[in-house]
Amino acid sequence: MLPEVGKYIRLAFESRGVIFTLEITPPDGRLEVDVMRMEGEEPWVSVTFPKDPEGERAVRRFFTRNGLQVPEDSGTPPSFFPNLPVELIYYISPLPRDAAGVSALIADLFRECGRLENDAPLRIHIEEASDAA
């Protein structure tokens, strides 16, 4: 559920692993948020969604309204197979400095662009690797 996003984002900020990845998706899988953090670095966050005019407009509006960098035109690469689905990846920048700010932004993204309610289920996938030495 959306109110629980914060506890997973905190894990990314607090991880002591060499690498930490968090994937958050609603059941329909049409909007995916990925949080990654490498040891000694700040986390980074991306949003992946199908390339369709309505979805892209919604994400672009969200980015603009929240003062985030909107990527340039997202045209389909010329060498791409015409009948295969295309997904877009937008990196969230500038990223809020703390877990609470990132959590609020991601929850708002799911509400606005994914049309999710607070009680909507989310799929959470976490991977963390620690130094084997």
pTM: 0.84
CB atoms near residue 20 (< 10 Å): 22
The answer on pLDDT for 75 being more than 80 is no
Interatomic CA distance for residues 125 and 24, integer angstroms: 7
Q: Are 10 and 120 in contact (CB under 8 A)?
A: no
**Three-state SS annotation for 84-95:** CCCEEEEECCCC
- Name the residue with higher pLDDT: 77 or 111: 111
Q: Where are the domains positioned within the chain?
A: 2-73+83-129
Residue 74 confidence class, pLDDT cut points 50, 70, 90: low
The answer on pLDDT for 78 being more than 70 is no
